[in-house]
Structure 1
Amino acid sequence: MSSIPDVKYAPAAANPQTLRRLSAVIVATSLVTGLEIFDFTVYGFFAAMIGDQFFPAANPMTSLLLAVGTFGVGFFVRPLGAAMIGAYADRVGRRAAMTATCWLMALGTAAIGLCPPFATIGLAAPLIVIVARLLQGFAVGGEIGAAASLAMEAAPISHRGWLVSWQLASQGAAALLGACLGLLLTSVMSPAYLASWGWRIPFLIGLLIAPAGVYVRRQLRETSIPTATRTSVRTPLAELCREHGATLIAATLMMSWRTVSFYIIVSYMPSYVTRVMHMPAIIGFRSSALSALLLVVVSPLSGLLADRLPRRKPLVLLTSGATALLVYPLFLIITHAHGALPVLCSVGLISALLALGNGFNTLLVLEALPARVRASGVATSYALGVALFGGTAQFIVTALIEWTGDPISAAWYVALACLVSFCALILFREQRAQT
């Protein structure tokens, strides 16, 4: 049964001062989070080229498998980053935690963008890339919970959905930027130059995270964080596991449909199109750009809808269930496509469902946890879910395709992830936090 207080859901008019304050929070959380997600996910867009540079093998699919395996490495350290940085955010403050993640992410991105290839330094090259991915994963693991918690706590109840939705829109913007850079680079550079050094350009652009992130977040007043959340909690993780263990487990499982769908439909599609379907790379980047654009546009609209509806849970059940039912026929269309249009339409439909349900899913978890453990709880459930489902998605799908010889096997994994989320959602107890 849901436990939802009687509150009014129609957004109230905000005065200019409140709008300026909320705009500052959106920039400090969403914009910089987007840059960090860009640094983390752009690896997936160029996985095939990174595999050739750092994991050379006689079989191109083996090289890709090693590259996407390293892509997944960054996800497995996310729970550690979530636990440590999330607890720090609950004890000390959201702003301090988010500033630290900027520096950590910039360091990992620089290591990948500047690392010499395997042909130059041998085994040291893949080792450097693996360490860099671990550092990136640690930073992103703690970033999500602190930023989402601050965004929710800074907003009046009637504007929560809208403010939190920009977190998700920023992730779409990050993917859109990566896909657009992929489109631009494939259009203006020869395949040889792109594979040799052109793929490094997005990583070097991503280094803007350090100066931009630190500057913006230092302007954010710590007083915008509720006093209750700054109260010293010695062991927020112990309290989280002891008193909110069931919520944590359900929230982790609820991540499966959104993270698998994102990392297969958005991040993996360029590699899937080129290495599996043997289509031009530009089709894959176009599909990823379309997916990301829909995340940017639909997520804020979804946030506005969340502020007008009395419950979050039904719409998440609808979107995850619809994705499970539609993913197989849509992948069937993709695998039999002879041009870009069928691929774009199929990918676009799944992406729209993902964008519509994402914000509701995040609000469900944020509102189910008290402020004193909120950053830790959101970060940990998100990081565990992404590590278990998103971090392994590209590797599992690539291995399934290699093992079965059937490119449509990717759809079965996405459908299974949606089913897991759907069952967890049914058991999740919806609440409506007032702080």
Structure 2
Amino acid sequence: MTAQSPALPSATTPARRGPWKEIIAASFGNALEFYDLLIYGYFAVVIGKQFFPSDNETTSLLLAVGSFGISFLMRPLGAIVLGSYTDKAGRKASLTLSIMIMLLGTAIITFAPTYEQIGLAAPLLIIVARMLQGFSTGGEFGAATAFMVEHADAKRRGFFASWQLSTQGLATVLAAGVSAILSYVLSDVQLNEWGWRVAFGFGLLIGPVGYYIRTQIDETPDFKKTLVSSTAKTPLRDVLIKEHVSLLLAIGVVAGATAFNYVHKLYMPIYAFKQLNIAATSSYLGALMTGVMLMLMAPVFGGLSDRYGRYRVLTIALLITGFSSYPMFVLLNTFPSVTTLLIVQALVGLLIAACLGPIPAMLSDIFPTSIRGTGLALSYNFSVTLFGGFAPLIVTALIEASGSKLAPSFYVMGTILISVVSIVCLGRRMRGTQPSAS
């Protein structure tokens, strides 16, 4: 199926050169996609001033954060179109297409004139760019996860699939690191005028490299077999009609982890700056700490899910996360310092890794190869859109409405309850059909 370079007696399963070339290629592109997605959130305050000006600073921020959420409205559409494309044209083709669409969206933001220069057309450009980025990301998870899972040995699918989340951690490190450096070396005037464009431009620089790598990798063996054996392929219809119950439960499974992820990883720099009065550079360091922990620990928990079962590892992780969310916000507000922020965000990174690490392989186990890309894309992106994409907007509004700085923790706990119930129901549904590692 692949190159026959090693002179070994048999080039069967283990000696297929190993999956690392494919894993690294998919991971690199995945890191780029999520860097481009996250960097907008970190510069929401600046973008609000440049493209969504208002006499009220909170209104300006809400409009900028809301435009971040708008991209998530496109993720289900991207999941439908690119997910189906993944199951029809192949994982490799879909990965290549999604990265090109993401680059287009990022380029528009990088070079977009401000509201002061072209008026109402400026925020419209940003919204179009965010919609393109959302559409691209909608297909990324399904294609990348299916690609990693299908190149991996069946007994190590949890470990290799978790690199999808590990590279999201790497994207957080890059995005928070670039944001921290720029906010440290540039004045507020420089950052507002042109510094933020440097952050987006960085995403453009690594894009062509990601595209080159993805054009040099092999299609997965599982997809090649399905391509030969399948005739009329209707992955979207099959998922929505034959697997609709599994799809709904999978959406619920992802809810708690994605809400916790977006509240603590993406919104926290804004929260630390606005609510805790921590300097912008220091607030980015908290997000960077979260990214480092996710990057390092996601494969650990993915490996644990191979050994002890996806359902067991994920359920324990979610329960610990649910019970610790409120105390973490209490701690931050009682001792609002950089040290407290770093400690809390390190714990957050560990918990995000524990929650998200087992999820890609768990979702892959639910859907057969012929509809795996579509099933993965739909379940993950519908959940992220519903519970994650608008999390910054929801918790910002909750804080304003309730007057409580602890409001984000209640949102996290509610979504985790949804996930635990979904896992219990899915476990019962899949019992007897799940692979031994799950």
2:418 to 410, 417, 420: 420
Task: Letter of the 2:434 partner, please give it.
Answer: R
* Equivalent of 1:115 in 112, 117, 126: 112
Counting aligned pairs with the same residue, the percent is 37
Query: Which range moved further: 64-73 or 202-211?
Result: 202-211
In structure 2, the residue matched to 1:202 is: 199
Is residue 2:267 matched to residue 1:265?
no
Partner Cα distance (1:85, 1:94) in 2: 10
Q: By how many angstroms is 1:348 displaced?
A: 1.8
2:434 counterpart residue number: 432
What does residue 241 of structure 2 align with? Answer: 242
C-alpha deviation, 1:227, in angstroms? 2.5
Give structure 1 regions of 4+ aligned residues with deviation exceeding 6 angstroms: none
CA contact (8 A) 2:86 2:373 kept: yes
CA-to-partner distance for each residue in 1:87-120, whole Å, 9 max, x for gaps?
A: 1110111111111111100000011111111111
Superposition pairs of residues 314-325 of structure 1, within 5 angstroms: 314-325=312-323
Matched, 1:190 2:187: yes
Counterpart of 1:417 in structure 2: which amino acid?
T
1:25-424 matched pairs, under 5 angstroms: 25-222=22-219, 224-230=221-227, 231-309=230-308, 311-424=309-422
Q: TM-score by structure 2 length?
A: 0.92
CA RMSD of aligned residues (A): 1.8
**What is the deviation of 1:170?**
0.4
1:262-318 Cα shifts (integer Å, max 9, x gaps): 111111111111122222112210110000000001011112222222x21011111
2:319 is matched by which residue type in structure 1? G
| Equivalent position amino acid for 2:278 in 1 | M
Counterpart amino acid of 2:329? F
Instruction: Report the Cα distance in structure 2 between the residues aligned to 1:57 and 1:275, rounded to whole angstroms.
Output: 17
CA distance in 1, matches of 2:90, 2:177: 35
What amino acid does structure 1 have at the position aligned with 2:287? S
What is the count of residue pairs matched by the alignment? 420
Unpaired runs of at least 5, structure 2: 1-11
Distance 1:21 1:206 in 2: 29
Unpaired stretches in structure 1, ≥5 consecutive residues: 1-13
Distance, in Å, in 2 between the alignment partners of 1:73 and 1:227 is 36
**TM-score of the pair, normalised by structure 1:** 0.93
The one-character-per-residue Cα deviations of 1:358-413 (angstroms, maximum 9, x if unpaired) are 12122211101110000000000111001101111000011111112211111111
